């Protein structure tokens, strides 16, 4: 017998809706989507289950609370409203840690967390961000303008920027806010990413690719999370017990773009060295002696400056740059590992593999496969057959 499921979404994300719909198609469900396309409370209550996000509109929130009391219900996301229903969420603290790790890797010593919300997901991202920074003996300034709308946000942010040090790494709670930060910085005469590196969350192509400066962003497994939520609801509708803890999926990775594509170094010689590296990164062998000669200093001084500014050697940094480029290509393309190795400037595949294993702890092919497998939940979110 076909199941009838109501979807109540307090916010829209195409990938999330695709995850719900993909499972519904496979399971043969009938969906009530009036709240999505008409922003209306469903008139009919006849349903076997409910899929919802956090909904802050009072009439939708009342509906969700009443419906969840009489039918199986699953929440997609953190439980800001204390609904007390099973939920599938992303590891928000891991998102914060990943953001801090990236900005630390870029050599930043000054950090800002920028939010316009005190929602649970924002607080967890800040907690993860701050925890990783403190492990590196750093901390962050928190810029937070909590408002029901973004009215006055640009002017407020412009005023805050005047008091920030340069360079600074800014972690925005989402891509839209990252875009606002970039516009405010550029309007205030800041260079992005040289004076301010900006990182967002969501990896929304419409926002990230077409911002004034393309935005580095941490992806969330929206479709996989929605599919997993629907799979969990299916189990509940068939009488299976609810899990004792939320189902938590990891973030889907960090996609680097121009908004953080600059090392936060202050010494002129180190800046010149990094620029020379980036220009010759994929051209073939690149030695510390070549770099020192190109920028007109001794190799001894080059090593001393790199240790002081970046706590690494020039060759360490070259390898990091190349492996980071390889990771991005493995995440965003289907190219063969051998082709990626060549594109990233490695002499041969074996050297690439050894370097990748040393820095990432896995063989490149195993790492790529692990990224794909991250989206599987511990209860195997696939079509439930009632068995």
| All structural domains of the chain with their residue ranges | 4-90+222-250, 92-220+254-260, 268-372
Question: In terms of C-beta density within 10 A (0-12 exposed, 13-18 middle, 19 or more buried), how is residue 179 classed?
Answer: buried
The pTM of the whole model exceeds 0.85: no
260-to-28, 102, 242 alpha-carbon distances in Å: 44, 9, 42
pLDDT of 386 above 90: no
Which tokens hold the place of 295?
Answer: 């920028």
Chain-centroid distance, C-alpha 63: 31
Average pLDDT over residues 60-79: 93
Intrachain domains 4-90+222-250 and 268-372 with the same fold? no
Read off the pLDDT of residues 215-236 as tens digits, 9 standing for 90 and up: 999 999 999 999 999 999 999 9
Read off the pLDDT of residues 83-107 as tens digits, 9 standing for 90 and up: 889 999 999 999 999 999 999 988 8
Place of tokens 């973004």: 150
User: So what CATH class is 92-220+254-260?
Assistant: alpha beta
pLDDT for the residue 378 = 43
Average pLDDT over residues 47-59: 92
| pLDDT: which is higher, 157 or 353 | 353
Read off the pLDDT of residues 357-370 as tens digits, 9 standing for 90 and up: 988 888 999 998 88
Average pLDDT, the chain: 88
Question: In terms of C-beta density within 10 A (0-12 exposed, 13-18 middle, 19 or more buried), how is residue 194 classed?
Answer: middle
pLDDT for the residue 117 = 82
| pLDDT: which is higher, 281 or 97 | 97
HEC sequence for the chain: CCCEEEEECCCCCHHHHHHHHHHHHHHCCEEECHHHHCCCCCCCCCCCEEEECCCCCHHHHHHHHHHHCCCCEEEECCCCCCCCCCEEEECHHHHHHHHHHHHHHCCCCCEEEEECCCCHHHHHHHHHHHHHHHHCCCCCEEEECCCCCCCCHHHHHHHHHCCCCCCEEEEECCHHHHHHHHHHHHHCCCCCCCCEEEEEECCCHHHHCCCCCCCEEEECCHHHHHHHHHHHHHHHHCCCCCCCCCEEECCCEEECCHHHCCCCCCCHHHHHHHHHHHHHCCCCCCCHHHHHHHHCCCHHHHHHHHHHHHCCCHHHHHHHHHHHHHHHHHHHCCCCHHHHHHHCCCCCHHHHHHHHHHHHCCCHHHHHHHHHHCCCCCCCCCCCCCC
pLDDT of 309 above 70: yes
Contact 112, 271 (CB under 8 A): no
> Whole-angstrom Cα distance, residue 231 to residue 13?
19
Fold of 4-90+222-250: Rossmann fold (3.40.50)
Average pLDDT over residues 286-309: 90
Name the pLDDT band for 145 (thresholds 50, 70, 90): confident
Residue 243: count other Cβ atoms within 10 Å of its Cβ.
Answer: 16
Residue 219: count other Cβ atoms within 10 Å of its Cβ.
Answer: 20
- Distance spanning both ends of the chain, measured CA to CA: 15
Q: What is the percent of the chain with per-residue pLDDT over 70, rounded to a whole number? A: 95
pLDDT for the residue 374 = 58
Place of tokens 């994300």: 13
Average pLDDT over residues 251-277: 86
pLDDT for the residue 122 = 95
pLDDT for the residue 27 = 94
Residue 36: count other Cβ atoms within 10 Å of its Cβ.
Answer: 15
What count of Cα atoms within 13 Å lies in the side-chain half-sphere of residue 4?
Answer: 8
> Whole-angstrom Cα distance, residue 116 to residue 174?
10
Place of tokens 């690494």: 312
Fold of 268-372: Arc Repressor Mutant, subunit A (1.10.10)
């Amino acid at each position: 017998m076909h199941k009838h499921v109501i979807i109540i979404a307090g916010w829209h994300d195409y990938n999330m809706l695709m995850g719900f719909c993909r499972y519904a198609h496979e399971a043969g469900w009938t969906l009530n989507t009036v709240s999505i396309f008409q922003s209306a409370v469903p008139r009919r209550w006849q349903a076997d289950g409910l899929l919802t996000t956090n909904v802050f509109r009072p009439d939708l929130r009342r509906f969700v609370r009443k419906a969840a009391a009489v039918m199986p219900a699953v929440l997609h996301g953190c439980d800001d409203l204390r609904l007390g229903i099973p939920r599938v969420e992303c590891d928000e603290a891991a998102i914060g840690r990943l953001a801090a790790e990236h900005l630390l890797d870029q050599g930043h010593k000054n950090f800002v967390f920028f939010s316009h919300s005190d929602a649970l997901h924002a607080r967890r991202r800040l907690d993860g961000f701050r925890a990783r920074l403190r492990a590196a003996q750093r901390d962050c300034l928190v810029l937070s303008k909590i408002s029901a709308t973004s009215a006055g946000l640009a002017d407020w942010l412009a005023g805050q920027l005047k008091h920030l040090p340069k360079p600074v790494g800014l972690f925005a709670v989402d891509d839209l806010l990252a875009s606002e930060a970039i516009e405010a910085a550029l309007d205030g005469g800041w260079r992005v990413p040289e004076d301010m590196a900006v990182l967002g969350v969501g990896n929304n192509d419409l926002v990230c690719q077409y911002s004034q400066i393309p935005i580095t962003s941490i992806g969330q497994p929206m479709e996989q999370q929605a599919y997993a939520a629907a799979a969990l609801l299916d189990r509940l509708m068939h009488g299976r017990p609810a899990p004792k803890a939320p189902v938590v999926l990891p973030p889907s990775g960090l996609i680097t773009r121009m908004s953080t594509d600059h090392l936060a170094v202050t010494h002129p010689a180190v800046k010149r060295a990094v620029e020379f590296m980036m220009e010759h990164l994929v051209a073939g062998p690149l030695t510390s002696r070549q770099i020192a000669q190109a920028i007109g200093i001794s190799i001894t001084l080059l090593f001393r400056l790199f240790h002081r500014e970046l706590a690494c050697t020039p060759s360490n940094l070259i390898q990091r740059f190349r492996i980071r480029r390889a990771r991005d290509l493995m995440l965003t393309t289907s190219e063969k590992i051998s082709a990626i190795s060549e594109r990233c400037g490695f002499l041969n595949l074996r050297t690439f593999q050894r370097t990748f294993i040393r820095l990432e702890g896995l063989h490149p092919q195993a790492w790529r496969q692990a990224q794909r497998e991250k989206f599987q939940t511990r209860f195997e979110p696939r079509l439930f057959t009632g068995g």
